[in-house]
Amino acid sequence: MLGGFCLTIGKVSVSNQVQQAKKPWNILEYLVYNRNREISSDELVSIIWSNNSNVNSTNALKTLIFRTRKLLEPFNLPTQQLISQKHGSYCWNPNIELLMDTDEFEDLCIRSQQPELTGSKQLELLTQALALYQGDFLPKSAWEPWVIPVSRHYHDLFVRAVRQAVDLLLQEEKWDSVAKVCKQAVAIEPHNEDFQYHLIHALYQSGCQHQALSQYRIMADSFYNDFAITPSGRMTGLYKLIQQQERGINIDLHMIQQSMQEENKLPGAYFCEFTVFRDIYQLERRAISRTGNSIFLGLLTLSEEDGRLPKSAVLSRAMGHLGDATTNSLRHGDVYTRYSVSQYLVLLPSATYENGKMVMQRIIRNYKKAYIRKELTVHYTLQAVSPIEYLS
């Protein structure tokens, strides 16, 4: 049940990986998970049709149980024996014992907490537990009301097991093992910065600096695109350390220039992470303090006509088109970044206010050509960047 539903008897398995009606699978999952008790018809009706009072529950449940039993036909066993019925209740046949990954996983987690265990024995039990956790509980039924608290329970056990395993592995500096555990953890919980930090740090300590930097960029893009947040100071500090280590000492200036060239020579403006954009912004402020030139900062904001944030799927697609329009509307040497889930920042050096307005309006025009949704709107603000005033 961890990572998906699969029921195996002998050499035959049935699973809900293929696209089929959800309700029969939901019944089967519920009966199997609650295999040690009889479940009344009323309880099953409340599980399946909790939001529909117009259902003829008696007939509908009989039909659904029939369809659920059909799922078990590949076993070549009497399906009425697998799902028993008596006195208006249903249950999984108690004479057919099931080995459940959820039970085994929880038992290993509990046993690993025994205070008398050595660190190596704890780690052995935790490793076995994490190997069983192939994903969250019944992911295809994740929004079923009965699944939500159960899934949270096992997920919390998983998070605690990962933290404990990582702590034990760090004590012994087993970096490859830390990376392996954290790769599994971030696949299930990609927005946990602790897991991401330990994964990147372990890759770096294992000598895989390039992989560590790649993982950092994946993490930063995910945090930024999904939540409009930037990595913490601890994370950016690790990033700088890895960059310095990867570079090492090199006295060949030509090789250094080659290493700094763009990997993908894409047309249009330069898109960068917000932390890089902020450094460029500070550099430009220093420059105009000396030269007296002007520079403007533009902000593009996408919203519905009433100012509300669009739904995530619509927003993601629209922001992609707005990003493309920004890239293609700016000069090759201009810089922009994603500031939030619905905003881009643009830096326009050597521009006047009038020129800046024309640029921002051109971006919006190009966006509207590529993405026509009348309920969405893009508006901009433009402001001159003030030079740094140095203390005399």
DSSP state of 139: G
Per-residue confidence (pLDDT) for residue 129, from 0 to 100: 96
Distance CA 102, CA 109 (A): 11
What domains are defined for the chain? 6-92 (1.10.10.10), 101-246 (1.25.40.10), 270-384 (3.30.70.270)
Per-residue confidence (pLDDT) for residue 352, from 0 to 100: 84
SS3 344: strand
Residue-by-residue pLDDT tens, the chain, 392 positions:
999 999 999 899 999 876 667 889 999 999 999 998 999 988 998 888 876 656 667 788 889 999 999 999 999 888 888 999 888 899 998 888 899 999 999 999 999 999 899 999 999 999 999 999 999 999 999 989 999 999 999 999 999 999 999 999 999 999 999 999 999 999 999 999 999 999 999 999 998 888 998 899 888 878 877 776 778 889 888 888 887 776 555 555 665 666 666 655 566 788 888 888 888 999 988 888 777 788 899 999 999 888 888 887 788 888 989 999 999 999 888 899 998 888 999 999 877 889 999 999 999 999 998 887 777 899 999 999 888 766 55
The model's pTM: 0.69
Closest CA to 347 of 267, 289, 277, 268: 277
Give Cβ neighbours of residue 28 (< 8 Å, ≥ 6 apart): 5, 7, 68, 71, 72, 83
Distance CA 382, CA 79 (A): 70
Per-residue confidence (pLDDT) for residue 176, from 0 to 100: 94
DSSP state of 36: T
Closest CA to 200 of 232, 172, 227, 248: 232
